[in-house]
Amino acid sequence: MHKFYSPQKQISVDTIIIEEPEQVHHIKDVLCLKQAEEVGVFDESSNTYKCVVADLLKDKVILKIVARGLGGNNAGTKISVACAIPKNSRMDDIVNKLTQLGVERIIPLITERVVVKLDSRKMELRNKRWEKIALSASCQSQRNSLVILEPICDFSAVISSSKGYDLKIIPTLCAERKPLKDILLGLRPKNALILIGPEGDFSDSEIALAVKAGFLPVSLGGPVLRVETAAVAAAGFLQLFYAEH
């Protein structure tokens, strides 16, 4: 069953109106859905709705609700990833893949060695593009919730706001570190935060600041990974590890 997102303001007692242009295009022109076909919908509170297509209009799709499910708190480990912004459009892929993996929160990160320079206007445009990518990936991967995509943030601000996490790790090529698996054994965190550095790794001062704030330096193995590979590898490992333990 195909799944789509709708804000609660577009949901009534028995009807959902899909007006977001890209979703309307996807329903009508890509999937070519017809009246009476079943689809799934989720909202910003992770409530789910089983629907049938009631009408296909020029700029909207009308869905009839046939069943509802209430959103609930995920009992598993919620994973957040603060990832240094790489060059070109590779952050697009990072947002896409982390959303598919079920990451709770993504924080695009500015560190000392990030070479991408963004003014306020470019930051706003990037965030809007990443929001669209995250929405598409949420629907494609059959999530029941939207990933929380934070505004672009600098390293020190992320460290300062990290007190609410009960597991904080910083993969790095420097410092005294342990294999990621050894860190995770015996732990069952509710909220985990992973810091992913830029090409060239975090600076010594950044690593020291993170360690002082309770982050654990870890190794992701022998090879030196690119930013996008490290982000997906670390988040995917945590997801699989806690699914099995």
Looking at residue 74, its pLDDT comes to 59
Phi, psi for 56 (deg, rounded to 5): -120, 105
Quickly list H helices, the chain.
Answer: 21-25, 90-100, 120-140, 155-160, 180-184, 204-212, 227-244
- Whether the full predicted model's pTM is greater than 0.75, yes or no, is yes
The CA distances from residue 73 to 78, 104, 114, 153, 190, in Å, are 10, 12, 35, 27, 11
- Looking at the fold, whether 130 and 202 belong to one and the same domain comes out as yes
Choose the final residue of a domain: 69, 87, 106: 69
- Specify the residue for token string 């309770």: 214
In the chain, which residues have pLDDT < 50?
Answer: none
64: domain CATH number is 2.40.240.20
Choose the final residue of a domain: 24, 39, 69: 69
61-102 residue pLDDT tens: 999 999 998 876 556 889 999 999 999 889 999 999 999 999
128: domain CATH number is 3.40.1280.10
CA distance 159 to 27: 41
Which of 9, 12, 30 lies closest to 21, judged by CA?
30
- Looking at the fold, whether 90 and 124 belong to one and the same domain comes out as yes
- Looking at the fold, whether 202 and 154 belong to one and the same domain comes out as yes
Looking at residue 208, its pLDDT comes to 94
Do the Cβ atoms of 169 and 215 come closer than 8 Å? yes
What count of other Cβ atoms lies within 10 Å of the Cβ of residue 184?
Answer: 21
Looking at residue 72, its pLDDT comes to 60
- Looking at the fold, whether 162 and 236 belong to one and the same domain comes out as yes
Looking at residue 88, its pLDDT comes to 85
- Domain span at 105: 78-244
